[in-house]
Amino acid sequence: MENPNNKILVTGATGYVGGRLIPRLLEKGYKVRAMGRSIDKMSCRPWAFDSNLELVQGDMLDLDSVKKAAKGCRVIFYLVHSMIAKGDKYADSDRVSAENMVIAASDAGAKQIIYLGGLGDVRHENISRHLVSRHEVGQILKSGAVPATVLNAAMILGSGSASFEILRYLVERLPVMLTPKWVHTPSQPIAVDNVLGYLTGCVEHKETIGKTYDIGGPDVLNYRDLIQIFAQEAGLVPRKVIPVPVLTPHLSALWIHLVTPVPSSIAIPLTQGLSVPTICRENSIQAVIPQKLLTCRQAIALALEHSVKNTVESCWSDAGEMRPPEWASCGDAVWAGGTILECGYRARILADAQTVWKPVRRIGGQTGYYSGDFLWIIRGMIDRMVGGAGLRRGRRDPEHLRPGDALDFWRVLKAEPPGRLVLLAEMKLPGEALLEISVIPVSKDVTELQLLSRFLPKGLLGILYWYILYPFHQLIFRGMLDKMAKAAGKKLISKPERFTPKLYDTCTLPYENEDHNIRH
């Protein structure tokens, strides 16, 4: 008879590490339960329909849902972090999440918790709040009845990681850099493939249960060394790095926010951590889980190769909540919660739906928005200056979108080819906004393309914001319809016209699957 406690629970399933760990566990034949806040977001991953995978919806701050996810699991990977979702309050959320996991793992009768933490001596005078929080989470997990294995890592090098993306954008865009003194702080980065090797190895090697290990690559170097190695591997001229004593980690993080797609809420904790040496104090795990460790040069070369080929498995921007605004749901009166302001335009195109969908799925990133790109760029610059995501976040893949993807300053809520794309605005706004693009077949050779912007303003400022930009919405939407038809190689057979959707048309966003336990 099959042991009911043989599943492996992976929390943070759509995060950077979790999204890469799951397929590797499946390849080894393990039965995996993936936990995330959104079933839709997990369902569109390449590994989502494996026969050995079960998807479960849960929130680490909701103890009941964590208990439900942990039930029947022998090993639990704790790979969640609240830094993106909770901002400055991440430490409090991570503390509660860890405490909930301790309770849930004990109730489930689990045999092991595996946690990926951060390197850095908490007694160091320059220790960051982020590293203190990472250490605290590890201590909470180890304090429970279920033994926890803690792996402490420094910078993770891999395509899509926040640390790698910061490095890439800085080197590619700045031939001369004014940097803080921390560019000389020693570190021991590790390739993401080696991190995954250690994580999976902890399941296979029982002697790791209850132990704490430092994990790192074979190189000990500083950030200045990484900058020059990246430049060499990317075929760029050597970068001029000028350390400036007065440039604090906080100021440098704000500069990173402006130059790279990584927001200051992530850049600040990461750069503050660079002020502390992050070197392995012991290497005992190498004897327990032997593997070939990639050098920093090899890890950077491999990450660049994946980026060029658009084969990035997961990205730092995958993490975070994907929660549509409540007013987008059905059941309430149209005025409930506030007045929803709308701007919709539509036109008919002499083409089938599949043909019209092609420019829809390519929107944003390098493709742009088909009309008024200069205005989009200005809006992105303003958003970056006030702390938003801006346009630099780009998109994961130039051809394909999936729920949960970051798309410039949007988050994909729905991607239903060839019918509908729904984007949630993550830019700084005095309100909440959705952009819905619908492809509606009229006949075999005629398709209607609709663009609908919906906005719930917050206060008088939100209302003023909407009406100031309203003329630009009209201009841009008309242009987008025309240019998207041309991008599809077809022509409009009707002029773009304004439309107001009926109530039932705006009540079609079942973002969360009511069945919170879906087995594929």
List, for residues 52-68, the tens digit of each pLDDT value: 999 999 999 999 999 99
List, for residues 446-455, the tens digit of each pLDDT value: 999 999 998 8
Contact indicator for 175, 53 with CB cutoff of 8 Å: no
Mean pLDDT of 194-206: 96
What pLDDT band is residue 501 in, cutting at 50, 70 and 90?
Answer: confident
What pLDDT band is residue 292 in, cutting at 50, 70 and 90?
Answer: very high
Q: Which two tokens stand for residue 254?
A: 């704000």
Within 8 A by CB and 6+ apart from 6, the residues are 31, 74
If you write DSSP's letter for every residue of 262-303 in order, what string do you get? Answer: S-HHHHHHHHHHTTS-B--S--THHHHS--PPPPHHHHHHHH
How many residues in the chain?
520
Rounded to whole angstroms, the Cα distance separating 155 from 302 reads: 16
Comparing CA positions, the residue from 40, 35, 37, 68 lying closest to residue 54 is 35
The pLDDT score that the predictor gives to residue 177 is 84
**Domain spanning 7-158+183-220+261-317: CATH superfamily:** NAD(P)-binding Rossmann-like Domain (3.40.50.720)
Element (DSSP H or E) covering residue 356: helix 353-361
Provide the H-helix boundaries in 13-158: 18-27, 39-43, 63-70, 83-86, 90-108, 129-142
**Which one is predicted more confidently, 513 or 208?**
208
Query: 326-519 sits in which CATH class?
Result: alpha beta
Which residue do the tokens 């409009």 mark? 492
Mean pLDDT of 18-42: 91
SS3 content of the chain, % helix, strand, coil (to 5): 40, 20, 40
What pLDDT band is residue 265 in, cutting at 50, 70 and 90?
Answer: low
Q: Which two tokens stand for residue 65?
A: 């849902």
Domain with CATH 3.30.530.20 in the chain: 326-519
The pLDDT score that the predictor gives to residue 350 is 94
Domain with CATH 3.40.50.720 in the chain: 7-158+183-220+261-317
| 172, amino acid identity | E
